[in-house]
Structure 1
Amino acid sequence: MSYQALYRVFRPQTFQDVVGQEHVTRTLQNALLQNKISHAYLFSGPRGTGKTSAAKILAKAVNCENGPSKEPCNECAACLGIMDGSIQDVIEIDAASNNGVEEIRDIRDKVKYAPSSVSYKVYIIDEVHMLSVGAFNALLKTLEEPPQHVIFILATTESHKIPATVISRCQRFDFKRITIEDIVGRMKFVLNETGMNYDPLALPIIARAAEGGLRDALSLLDQAISYSDDRLRVEDALSVTGSVSQELFESITEEVIEQNTSAVLELLEKLLENGKDPVRFIEDYLLFLRDLLLYQAAPDISDIFKTIVVSDSFKQMAEHISSENIYEMIHILNQAHQDMKWTNHPRVYTEVALIKLCQLKKSASINATNSIPSWAEEFTSQISQLKRELEMLKANGIQITKEQGQADSPKSKRSARTKSTSVHIPTGRIMDILKNATKTDIQKLKSSWGELIEYLGNQQKRSQAALLNDAEPVAASSNAFVLKFKYEIHCKMAMDNPDFSSTIRAVLNKLTGNDYELIGVPEEEWLSIRESFIRKQKEEGHEVEEDTQEDPLVAEAKRLFGEEIIEIKD
Structure 2
Amino acid sequence: MSYQALYRVWRLQRFEDIAGQEAVTRTLRNALMQQKNSHAYLFTGPRGTGKTSAAKIFAKAINCPNQKDGEPCNECEICHAITEGRLNDVIEIDAASNNGVEEIRDIRDKARYAPTQAEYKIYIIDEVHMLSTGAFNALLKTLEEPPGNVIFILATTEPHKIPLTIISRTQRFDFKRITYKDILGRMRYILGEEKISFDEEALHIIARAANGGMRDALSLLDQIISYDSETITLENAVKVSGSLTEEMMLSFLQALWNQSAKEGLNILQSILSEGKEAGRFVEEMILFSRDILIYKQTDGRSDKDTEQATDSFQEYAAEVEPSFLYRMMEELNHTQKEMRFSTQPEVYLEVLAVKMAQPAKAPKNEPKQSESSKGEIQQLEQEVASLKKELSTVLKDLKSGRIQVTNANESGASEKKATRRSSANKSETRNSFKPNISRAQQIMREASKKELKTLQDDWKDILDCLSVTQRAILRQAQPVAASESACILSFDYEILCQKATDDVELQEALDEAIRRITQRPGEVVCMTGEQWSSLRRSYVQSIKNGKNTQKPADSTTDSQQGPTTKDVSQPSSSQTISTENDEKKQDNYLILVWMIKMHRLLEDMI
Give the RMSD, CA atoms, in angstroms.
4.0
Q: Secondary structure at the match of 1:486?
A: helix
Show CA shifts across 1:27-66 (max 9, x none): 1111111122211111111111111111111111111121
Structure 2 Cα separation of the partners of residues 254 and 191 of structure 1: 35
Q: For residue 470 of structure 2, what is the amino acid of its counterpart? A: K
Deviation at 1:193, TM superposition (A): 1.3
Residue 300 of structure 1: how far off its partner (Å) = 3.7
Question: What's the CA shift for 1:17?
Answer: 2.4
Cα deviation for residue 553 of structure 1 reads 3.7
TM-score, with structure 1 as normaliser? 0.66
Identify the residue that residue 163 of structure 2 maps to in structure 1: 163
The residue number in structure 2 matching 1:172 is: 172
Partner of 1:486: 470
The structure-2 alpha-carbon separation of the partners of 1:354 and 1:470, relative to structure 1 and needing over 3 Å to count, comes to closer
Cα distance between partner residues in 1 of 2:345 and 2:269: 13
1:413-424 to 2 correspondences below 5 Å:
none
Measured in 2, the distance between the counterparts of 1:488 and 1:38 equals 61
Which residue pairs with 2:224 in the alignment?
A: 224
Cα pair 1:325 1:362 within 8 Å, conserved:
no
Counterpart amino acid of 1:330?
M
Paired with 2:256 and 2:209, the residues of 1 have a C-alpha distance of: 26
Tell me the amino acid that sits aligned with residue 222 of structure 1: D
Distance change >3 Å, CA 552–CA 118, structure 1 → 2 = closer
The CA distance in 1 between the partners of 2:221 and 2:149, in whole Å, is 41
1:322 corresponding residue in structure 2? 321
Q: Which amino acid aligns with 2:314?
A: K
Aligned partners of 2:435 and 2:526 also within 8 Å: no
Q: Secondary structure at the match of 2:389?
A: coil
CA distance in 2, matches of 1:278, 1:339: 12
1:552–1:167 Cα change, 3 Å: closer
Residue in structure 2 matching 1:409, options 370, 390, 394: 390
In 2, are the aligned partners of 1:40 and 1:169 still within 8 Å (CA)?
A: yes
- Counterpart residue number, 1:332: 331
| Residues in 2 aligned to 1:6 and 1:440: alpha-carbon distance in whole angstroms | 80
Partner Cα separation in structure 1 for residue 307 and residue 280 of structure 2: 16
After TM superposition, give the deviation of residue 84 of structure 1 in Å: 2.3
Q: Is 1:74 matched up with 2:74?
A: yes
Secondary structure at 1:43 match in 2: strand
Matches within 5 A, 1:133-282: 133-228=133-228, 230-282=230-282
Unaligned runs of 5+ in 1: 364-404, 414-436, 448-465, 472-484, 490-522, 531-549
Change (3 A) 1:69 1:307: closer
Identity over aligned residues, as a percent?
51
Deviates more, 1:253-262 or 1:218-227: 253-262
Does the 8 Å CA contact 1:243/1:276 hold for their aligned counterparts? yes
CA shift digits 1:427-476 (9 cap, x unpaired): xxxxxxxxxx99999999xx9xxxxxxxxxxxxxxxxxx99x979xxxxx
Give the deviation of 1:140 after TM superposition: 1.7
How far, CA to CA, are the matches of 1:442 and 1:342 in structure 2?
Answer: 54
Q: Is the 8 A contact 2:497 2:527 kept in 1?
A: no
Count of aligned pairs: 423
Q: Contact 2:181–2:305 (CA<8 Å) still a contact in 1?
A: no
Displacement of 1:488 after TM fit? Answer: 11
Aligned to 2:425: none
Q: Distance in 1 between matches of 2:251 and 2:4?
A: 40
Residue type at the aligned position of 1:325: F
Residue aligning to 1:285:
285
5 Å-filtered alignment, 1:385-404, equals none
Deviation for aligned residue 1:262:
0.8
Q: Which residue of 2 aligns with 1:510?
A: none
Question: SS at the partner of 1:148?
Answer: coil
Deviation at 1:78, TM superposition (A): 1.3
Deviation for aligned residue 1:345: 2.2
CA distance in 2, matches of 1:84, 1:281: 40
Give the structure 1 partner of residue 340 of structure 2: 341
Match for 1:121: what amino acid?
A: K
The whole-number CA distance in structure 1 between the counterparts of 2:291 and 2:552 is 60
SS at structure 1 position matched to 2:275? coil
Q: Does the CA contact (< 8 Å) of 1:61 and 1:70 recur in 2?
A: yes
Give, in whole Å, the separation in 1 of the partners of 2:526 and 2:65: 89
Tell me the residue number matched to 1:370.
Answer: none
Q: 1:409 to 1:166 in 2, by over 3 A?
A: same
CA distance in structure 2 between the partners assigned to 1:87 and 1:488 by the alignment: 75
Residue type of the partner of 1:56?
K
Q: Given the superposition, is the C-alpha separation of residues 12 and 408 from structure 1 closer, same or farther in structure 2, using an over 3 Å criterion?
A: same
- The question of whether the paired residues in 1 share the 8 Å contact of 2:60 and 2:72 is answered with yes
1:356 Cα shift?
Answer: 0.9
Cα distance in 2 between the residues matched to 1:113 and 1:407 = 90
User: Is the CA contact (8 Å cut-off) linking 2:248 and 2:271 kept in structure 1?
Assistant: no
Structure 2 equivalent of residue 310 of structure 1:
309
In structure 2, C-alpha distance between the alignment counterparts of 1:28 and 1:76, rounded to whole Å: 21
Distance 1:557 1:83, change over 3 A: same
Local SS of the residue matching 1:318:
helix
Match of 1:515 in 2: none
Deviates most, 31-40 or 266-275: 31-40
Query: In 2 relative to 1, CA 147–289 (structure 1 residues): closer, same or farther, beyond 3 Å?
Result: same
Measure the CA separation in 1 of the matches of 2:82 and 2:433: 93
- Tell me which amino acid in the other structure corresponds to 1:87: L
Question: 1:87: how far off?
Answer: 2.0
Contact 1:63 1:118 in 2 (8 A): yes
Distance 1:119 1:102 in 2: 27
Q: Map Cα deviations across residues 283-340 of structure 1 (whole Å, 9 max, x no partner).
A: 2222222222222222241x33489943222232233322222222222222222222
Indicate conservation of the 8 Å contact 2:100/2:132, yes or no.
Answer: yes
Partner of 1:154, secondary structure, is strand
Aligned to 1:276, what secondary structure does the other structure show?
Answer: coil
State the TM-score, normalizing by the size of structure 2.
Answer: 0.62
In the superposition, relative to structure 1, how do residues 79 and 321 fare at CA in structure 2: closer, same or farther (>3 Å)?
closer
User: Which 4+ runs in 1 deviate beyond 6 A?
Assistant: 437-444, 523-526, 554-558, 563-567
1:253-306 CA-to-partner distances (Å, cap 9, x unmatched) read: 2212221111110000010001111222122222222222222222241x3348
Distance 1:338 1:76, change over 3 A: same
Equivalent AA in structure 2 for residue 129 of structure 1: H
After superposition, the C-alpha distances for 1:142-163 in whole angstroms (9 at most, x for unaligned) are 2122222111111111111111
Residues 534-557 of structure 1, C-alpha deviations (whole Å, 9 max, x = no match):
xxxxxxxxxxxxxxxx98647997
CA distance in 1, matches of 2:130, 2:310: 49
- The structure-2 alpha-carbon separation of the partners of 1:149 and 1:412, relative to structure 1 and needing over 3 Å to count, comes to same
The letter of the residue matching 2:121 is K
SS, match of residue 409 in structure 1:
helix
Q: Following the alignment from structure 1 to structure 2, what is the Cα–Cα distance between the partners of residues 22 and 3?
A: 32
Distance 1:438 1:11 in 2: 81
Q: Which amino acid aligns with 1:315?
A: Q
